[in-house]
Structures are given as structure tokens and as C-alpha cells.
Chains A and B, each alone.
Chain A
Amino acid sequence: MAYLTEKFGPAGGFHPFAGAGEAVAAARVPAIKARSATPAVRRRRGAGFGTFIYGLPLLGLFFLTWEIAPRLGWLNRIFFPPLSEVLVAWWDLLASGVLVEHIGISLQRAAIGFALGVVVAIPLGLLMGRYSLFEKVSDLLVQTLRNTSQFALLPVFILLLGIGEESKVAITFYSSVFFLLVNTISGVKSVDPLLIKAARSMGTSDFDMFRKIILPASIPSIVAGARLGVKSSLFAVIGAEMLAAKSGLGFLIQNSQLMMETADMYAGILTLTVIGLVVNYLLVWFERWATAWKGQSEASMI
């Protein structure tokens, strides 16, 4: 189970309030540590395929139940169409181009908001982590904002920015920025003081200290924050689209439910699951790439 949660994200999939819950839960944790790619962890990941095989029967059983339960009348077919019907509906949505359009819009909103989060959080986090006065002044405001649910703020964003793209971008930005900020700060604070001393001894300027020492040393922590931030942005955009939008995957799911096109609704949900898995896999890969220097202790030769 621990394996599943780690690999496939928190239980609850892309339900909008699962996203909010995760944000709050994570907010209580002062810093979200990067999972270090030590050899032990690598071995565990290497054994991942075996675990995957073990997990298949149960997943197969789940899909099988989904297929036969509505057919046997255990579940109401109108609310729970068999998996095969959902897949047919999914194929139709895909072939008509509608699905791709919705996916594109949702991903675009999440990506713009997340990118803004990166642009704001990293410089700010570097300053807050490095200069204690800066942190003392801004910490209370950050804590206050961080513990306010992004969904509670959606009406505010809509009032301020309108019902269009801006309010969606705002909520995805808000959902990711604090993960990035908190992890950047914690990354900066945990930079080994000896490395700073060594850099100073070589005459490193303040600017180079940020650029060449503090930033690279903080990368593992920042990337871990980015992983959470990306997921949170995705959750937020779906939620926002369900509440107030005329396009996007969240809208597709919500609207299909209203129209009682339940096969389309499940097709939308499955699409989100697949996107979630792919994004998570890409982020794990990116994290491993960005922190390659931490692992691979091979030699102990003189």
C-alpha cells in the first residue's frame, strides 16, 4: 500500500478536495524532504517491476468488477456503466478531438500557474532562507496565506480577475507557490555552512553565492517541492474547472455528470488518472536527473 501511494499519488485520485486536503496536510509539515536517491532507494526502485507484477491481479480484479457488476445488475448501469462502455466513450471523445482539446486547456492552465509559481517562489525563497530579517518580516504573511485553501479563494479570484483564464491561472499559481517557497527556504537553510565558508574563502561574490552555491545546493529540496507543486496545480485546475469553467477536463467531468452522460464522465476521470501517472513518472525521472550527484557511491579507492 505504501508502495502504491508513493508511486501513484495520494488515494482519492483527482477529486478536487483531495487536492485541498493534501495541501493542508503538507502545510503542517515544515519541510517536505527530497527522497534521496541513495543506493538503498535505488535497489528498492529497481525491484519496482516485481512489485508491479504482484499488484496487477488486484487491479485486474477491480477492472473486472467494474465490467461485470453493472452487467449483472449489482450496480445501476446508468450511474456505473461497464468499463467497456467507458472505454468506447473515451475512444469517441478522443477520435472527435474533444478530449485532446480539454486536456490541452487544463494542462495549459496548470502549467502557466505552476511556471509563475516557480518564477515567484525560487527568488523569494532564496532571499527568505538566506536573510533572517527578510524571513522574520514575511513569515507570518506567508503562513497565513499558505493555510488558506485555494478553493476557498476561487470566488475571490473570480471577483478580482473574472471568470476567464486569469482566475484559473491564479488558483493553480496559488496551489503550487507555497510548496515551492517552503521547500526553497528549507533547502537554503540546510546548505552546509562549510560550503559557504569554502566559497567565501575563494572570494565568491554575494550574487555568485546565490547562483553557484546556494541554488544548486538547494536543488534537491526545490525539486521535491516542485513535484508536490505540479500535482497540486493539476488538482486545483480540475477543481476550478468543475466549479466555474466552460472548458477543460474538470468541466468535461462535471458537465457529463449533469447531462447524465456517465460514460463520458468516467472517461474523463480515467484520463485524469493516466495524466496523473504520467506526470508523476516524469517528475520522478526529473528529480533523479537533477539530483544525480547525490547518489552512486561506487568506489572507496585511494
Chain B
Amino acid sequence: MDRIVVSDIKKTFRLKPGQSITVDGETTDRVTVLDGIDLAIRKGEFITLVGPSGSGKSVLLDIIGGLTSATSGGVQLDGRRITRPDPKTGYVFQQYALFPWRTALSNIEYALEVRGVPKSERTATARHLLSLFGLAGFEDRFPNQLSGGMQQRVAIARALASNPEVLLMDEPFAALDQQTREILQGELLRIWGKIKTTVIFVTHSIDEAIFLADRVVVMTARPGTVKEIIDIDLPRPRDGDIRASAAFNNHRARVWEVLRDEVNKAQKDWTLSPAFSH
């Protein structure tokens, strides 16, 4: 059963006044970032999105999360069209985005607070989630008293607090060191194995994409389209050792083969990068 259906999404940004770019010999102030994305995601599926910089992965995630509207096309969640953030969707950001004036516990409670959950219930839920992520005892710490890995655990716990049916993750582990990153990948899989929520996970790392996913969606260089969807039939539960297996290596070679041309194309697209860095 399809939980999320993305149909023919296009997204065009307008540059700031005075800025323009040249596309195929024509000068324009419009940049097409997504150019017709079709994607059907099954219930409980773990999808990873890979693609070169500027391929619009994060924009696609924002559109699915209801934070940005598409120029044309649409997203349906369980048959309902998404126009604004859905209460059934949780979002995790690369830079954690914890509220620095709230403690770890109270950050997680926030997700329930704005949904009108009574105080005693949300405290209990938040405590349970903290202990699930191995953070019991850190309830009263402020974010800047926690390491990056701990902060991202809190942020994931916050996104899961409302029991979402869809979890959107935008390069959540990219700012962490390699060891922490692999530990958190393992934890994420362990918790996902329990709650079986639908996950869309954007990453730059091919290894991460393969390790986590049921299917890896490879996107093209700008303007982004889906280049290929690769099934990852590695057995679950997975642990770190699987990275050394022959099957994993085959997947790695396959994903890289699909991605390579697009990365090269993106490298030549330097003209655009200053315009994007807003």
C-alpha cells in the first residue's frame, strides 16, 4: 500500500532582483530545481535519497513535509493532498534545530505541547523517548550542554514524540563524526524496526544510503529528476559488519555507477552555486 505518492512535482525558484543565470544559452532569473518527480513510497518503507549537490533533495523533502509548496504537481499522504505541515509527519534537520532555551526533555515535550497533549502525558512520553535513545539522566540539560550526537538523538526523539507515520530526515548525521554517525545509524534502524514508520532520508553518503534503505532513490543533477530507484535486498536486522559483505559492495558499485555522471554534471554547474547560496 502506498503511503506517500509524489506526482510530477516541479519547483522553480526565482532569483533575487539583479541576479540571473544562463541556462542553455538563455539568460533567465528562474531556476528549475525539480523537474517532474514521480515517486510512490510504501507504508513502513525506508527510502534514502541521494544525488549531487543542487539536485533538490532537500527541496523535495520540504515539499513532502508541507513546508514549501511545489510550483506544479502534488504530494498525497494516505490519499490526502499535502498543503501544510501534517501532524502525522516528523522532521529532522541536519543542524538539529533544538530550541536552545529548552532542556532536552522540554524540547521533546514541545512537539506534544503544540498538539495539545496534557502535561503529565507529554512528560511521560518525553522521558520514555529519552531513555529509548540512551539519554536518561540528561533530561535537564540544555542543548549546548550536549554533544552533537546527543543533540541529534534528542531531535529525532522530538520528531518521533507525536508518533508520526512519516519521518523526514534531511542529512541528519552529516554534521557528526564518522563513529557517532555509524552508532546513530544503528540506533535509528533499531528504533525504526520497532515502530516501522515510513522514513525518507536524504544523504550524501552512498554507504549510509545503502546501509539504511529498502530502496535508494538516485536523483539527477539540477534540474532534479529521479534517475533510478535501486532496491536494497540486504537482510534485516543489519549491523555494521554488513558493510564489508560482497552484496553491500555490489550495491555500492551500482549506486556509484548511477550517480557518477550526475556528480560530474553538477561539478560543471558552478555558475549557479553563488546564486544559490542565500
Please list the residues of chain A having a beta carbon within 8 angstroms of any beta carbon in chain B.
192, 194-195, 197-205, 208, 212-213, 216-217, 219, 292-302
Contacts and interface: CB of A to CB of B under 8 A. Distances in A.
A302 B89 contact: no
A201 B87 contact: no
Contact of B100 (A205, A293, A300): A293
A202 B114 contact: yes
A299 B91 contact: no
Given A219-B101, A293-B100, A293-B101, A212 B95 contact: no
Interface stretch (B122-130, B146-154, B226-234): B146-154
Given A201-B85, A302-B179, 17 more contacts: A198-B91, A199-B110, A201-B67, A201-B91, A202-B85, A202-B91, A202-B111, A202-B115, A202-B162, A212-B114, A217-B100, A292-B142, A293-B100, A294-B100, A294-B144, A296-B144, A302-B183
Nearest to A198: B97
A112 B164 CA distance: 49
A252 to B, nearest CB: 43
Contact of A301 (B86, B144, B147, B183): B147
Interface string B81-113: 000011101110101010111100000001101
Contact of A204 (B86, B100, B114, B183): B114
A159 to B, nearest CB: 45
B97 A302 contact: no
B162 to A, nearest CB: 7
A299 B146 contact: yes
A300 B99 CA distance: 18
A216 B97 CA distance: 15
B150 A217 contact: no
A300 B151 CA distance: 11
Contacts of A198: 91, 93, 97, 99
A13 B65 CA distance: 56
Contacts of A212: 110, 113-114
Nearest to A297: B144
B71 interface: no
Interface string B163-188: 00000000000000001100100000
A221 to B, nearest CB: 13
A219 B101 CA distance: 10
Contacts of A202: 85, 90-91, 110-111, 114-115, 158, 162
A212 B144 CA distance: 19
Given A201-B67, A299-B147, A194 B97 contact: yes
Nearest to B115: A203
24 contacts: A197-B67, A197-B97, A198-B91, A198-B93, A198-B99, A199-B110, A201-B85, A202-B114, A202-B115, A202-B162, A203-B86, A203-B115, A205-B114, A212-B113, A216-B99, A216-B101, A292-B142, A293-B101, A293-B144, A294-B100, A294-B144, A296-B142, A302-B180, A302-B183
Contact of B145 (A217, A219, A298): A298
B100 A200 contact: no
B117 to A, nearest CB: 12
B221 to A, nearest CB: 25
B99 A195 contact: yes
Contacts of B115: 202-203
Given A194-B93, A194-B95, A293-B142, A203 B147 contact: no
A197 B114 contact: no
A298 B85 CA distance: 35
A161 B183 CA distance: 69
Contacts of A213: 99
Nearest to B68: A197
A201 B144 contact: no
Given A205-B114, A302-B149, A197 B93 contact: yes
Contacts of B101: 216-217, 219, 293
A205 B85 CA distance: 11
Contacts of A205: 114
Given A194-B93, A219-B101, A300 B147 contact: yes
A12 to B, nearest CB: 36
A119 B57 CA distance: 44
Contacts of B93: 194, 197-198
A201 B84 CA distance: 9
A297 B99 contact: no
Interface string B125-143: 0000000000000000010
Nearest to A201: B91
A298 B147 CA distance: 9
A107 B50 CA distance: 64
Contacts of A292: 142
B152 to A, nearest CB: 11
Interface in B34-78: 65, 67
Nearest to B103: A293
A195 B114 contact: no
Nearest to B134: A302
Contacts of A195: 97, 99
Nearest to A213: B99
Nearest to B97: A198
B85 A200 contact: yes
Contacts of B100: 217, 293-294
B125 to A, nearest CB: 14
